[in-house]
Structure 1
Amino acid sequence: MRSASLHIATALALCSTWSLTACAQSPLGPVTGEVSFHTSSADLGVGYTWGHGVLTYGGRTYPFSVSGASAAAVGYSSGDSVGKVYNLQRIEDFPGTFWALSGEATVGRGVSGELMENDNGVRIRLDYTRDGARIAASPSRLTIRMLKTPTQPPADHTDNVKASSAAR
């Protein structure tokens, strides 16, 4: 219980820095990556969130799944999120449990933001667009799991032709 209280206090502090303008990025640490994902949430008092996304870090993309729970929410919504990742030093520090204080009031279409942090100090600042009808104001806990090996951006086609010619 003490650990959960610490995470909630940390999330509150991070949410206050999120509302600042350009100065907000220095307290969050260095930007080290980007994320985009699609999630859905269904709630009736206690809620469940699920989805999938992609982390871009070090010139590679890493697919992941997202699942988690929240309290004090009612409704259903789904949408897309994009955000910046801060303080990610090693890819091994990214998966795990992220804590956040989240609020949402979506009727039809809504736009919002969220700031999350995991036990390794990795922070994610999200901007998201949601569709549905949902109201929520609660601490939330999201678990990120990596899905498979990373992929590199596609190589130039001429490099592939040269490589296959050299192999012959």
Structure 2
Amino acid sequence: MIYQKQIFVSILVVVACMLAANFAVAEETKPSGTITIESHSVALGFGVNWGHGTLKFKGKEYKFKLNGLSVVDLGVSNVSATGEVYHLRHLSDFAGTYNAASAGIAVAAGAGASYLENQHDVVIKITSKKQGVQFTLAAEGLRLKLIE
């Protein structure tokens, strides 16, 4: 019964994050670009994330790497994610530290949603698919860096 309540609360938070992300970018309906991410995480209360991805912006592809921390996180997982990037006017504004509100649960396979924003007001809406065992109901910070 306790796990059912945790799953229910997690689902509500995921839905709330997705709705908040939709309202936040409602003014700009067309994304500036898209991203794909492959990452890994290990967590026991605090989590560590690392990985790489590709940004598609103005008809070109740019590789980037990511690393970050999370709290209220437990488990080990591999994550494949896709997302839309908003308010990106210059490529140089993409790199930076993104703050995120996330929610998700994975037992063998699961899903999550994140809304991220950096110091240049670039917004990324991410939907992820996880493999492994992980429970997340947390604030996260991710650092994205373009690979030259």
TM-score band w.r.t. shorter chain: 0.7 to 0.9
- Name the structure with the higher strand share: 2
Match of 2:80?
80
Deviation at residue 25 of structure 1 after TM alignment: 4.2
- Name the structure with the higher helix share: 1
Q: Tell me, in whole angstroms, the C-alpha distance in 2 between the residues paired with 1:47 and 1:93.
A: 26
Gaps of 5+ in 1: 1-14, 149-168
| Letter of the 1:81 counterpart | A
Gaps of 5+ in 2: 1-14
Match of 1:52?
52
Q: Tell me, in whole angstroms, the C-alpha distance in 1 between the residues paired with 2:27 and 2:40.
A: 30
User: Greater CA radius of gyration, 1 or 2?
Assistant: 1
The secondary structure found in structure 2 opposite 1:31 is coil
- 1:17–1:101: structure 2 CA closer, same or farther, 3 Å change rule? closer
Deviation at residue 26 of structure 1 after TM alignment: 1.6
Match of 2:147?
147
Q: How many residues align?
A: 134
TM-score (norm 2): 0.83
1:17 and 1:24 in contact (8 A); partners too: no
RMSD of aligned alpha carbons: 2.1
Q: Tell me, in whole angstroms, the C-alpha distance in 1 between the residues paired with 2:135 and 2:64.
A: 26
Q: Tell me, in whole angstroms, the C-alpha distance in 1 between the residues paired with 2:58 and 2:69.
A: 30
After superposition, give the CA deviation of every residue in 1:103-138 in whole Å (9 maximum; x if it has no partner). Answer: 121101012211100010000001111000011111
